[in-house]
Structure 1
Amino acid sequence: MLNTISKSAGAFYLTLLVLPLALPMMSGSATTAVVVMIFGIAAAACNLMLGYAGLLSFAQGTFFGVGSYAVGVLLRSHPGLGLGVLVLCAAAGAVAALVIGMLSIRQKGIYFVMITLAMAQMAFFAALSFPDVTGGENGLLDIPRIGAGLDSVLSESQSQYLVVSVVFFLAFAFLRRVIRSPFGRVLDAVRENETRARMAGYDVQRLKLLAFVISGSVTATAGALYAIQLRSAPLSNIDLMMSETILIMAILGGKRSLLGAVFGALLMTLMAEQLSQLWPRWQMIVGFVLIATVLFAPSGIGGIFSQWRTPHEKRKPGGAHLSSKETV
């Protein structure tokens, strides 16, 4: 189902419009729905790296934290920036990704992973070591929210929901455009066979670096939205655990499914909210769910929908079989 929706541009964009209306009912509250949309953006940006560039990066939390700190610093000093602050935060995430990418993208496999892991740890301790900028252990507090310019019609919470919904739509539309562009196709070819892509004349390192920068920029935008929602930028936003959380959401949703990333974020958020009330060691259950997903549903939620629909398509005359490579 998610495959079919993703193949049709109209259905894809219609789904993006419907999700902000449906998520409060699916998650139980508008506040949780906002969090799901924000982390859905971050997980989808991670999918670009993991599912299409074939790069496992632990720097996603760094980009998320950069966006959080950037929006905190900018809005506390210039509260009149409005929605334009998100553009600046995206640029900050792109710069951070460019720096980390230039240091790590030349490496392959475990060496690339370890460099991004080391850079993530360095970013965490840098945030901890400069409390005048980041607030140290306390983080940045009293971050003002940005409105949609409809203060006479909407309440503050409704205005915030509208802002997140619009950014959610634009971010997913942008990522879909990237994936389905010639750049996205070539990036997919690099993931499939890097040697052949290099022999065909493509600059593999530059392609990976561009994907890294795009992913970092979108992830930083999600981090900025999260800080605005919380009204603070806590140190946990740039912790290594944030990278792990985003990666888990991407894997649960399906590393090659943009819409699946939303449902991965929904599942992870609901588990964090509900299971933490039942058992203080609720992360163990998340671990079992992740192991089961990797073993029995490696394509994630998006892949489950695809497998459910495939038998029905085979029964139809001319029904096309959609492979996991076509999931968006």
Structure 2
Amino acid sequence: MGRYVVRRLLQMVPVFIGSTFLIFFMVYALGDPVAALFGDKAPDPATAARIRQELYLDEPLWKQYGHYMGQILSGDFGTAFNGQPVIELMADAFPVTLRLTLVAILFEIVIGITLGVLSGLRRGRSADTTVLLLTLIVVSIPTFVSGYVLQYLFGVKWGIVSPSVSPEAPFDELLLPGIVLALTSLAYVTRLSRTSIAENSRADYVRTAVAKGLPHRRVVTRHLLRNSLIPVVTFIGTDVGALMGGAIVTERIFNIHGVGFQLYQGVLRQNSPTVVGFVTILVIVFLLANLFVDLLYAVLDPRIRYA
């Protein structure tokens, strides 16, 4: 197992370099950051040249990327155009989005897997049909529609929760945004769990366990569920990074100043250092989540062994 972890970590290095270079190239290819810094006003040529020199924008792209990677290795993610270090923006934004993502993931795991297991064990019955219909409806509704509807019902009309989140973003205020963020993924987790349970329930090892006279609960939890969770764990693991990076709509609806808010502001103002810095961290999150998922395979399925 240790050799496998080391090998996977070494494989992550070229993936990280390739991903960050593509991001760096695409972000800085969107336009001139110096022109965006001055807005509609035409910058003074001497001032623009000095800023480009300070930001290494007068160097070839590969040299700019090399300088940026050197800064990252030293813990410096650059400075936003407003003069604030990007790492300070990260320190404010990432804890909020991490809490929001944690709430969404918990809803996916608890509600999604539970509904999927119940539906898979009752395949073809009315409960199964109802779950499939509800998940199809949830998948068909865009996030901005479900977000505004739930915000109006629970926050404005019924007053159960606050319609917007305070700057501190405590967990109790993130419950409704977490549900909105998790709705689509929750539907996919439910359908994926249901399909996996239904397929594995006819496997030989399940029939053998039943023939031995094992209790139904033990057959489901010890044998059927563990093997059926492998595709679900794969989806949830990759969904962690997707939720963190894709929370722009949810954070805008509930006025959450997290990663999505900072990325939206960075793209809107062409604040390249902010966008590249935040996306670089999201790449690391994706890579670590995939590594964690790979390690969970051996826990869930004892037949899997890593040389």
TM-score computed with the length of structure 2 as normaliser: 0.32
Greater relative CO (CA pairs within 8 A, separation 6+)? 1
In terms of Rg, which structure is larger?
2
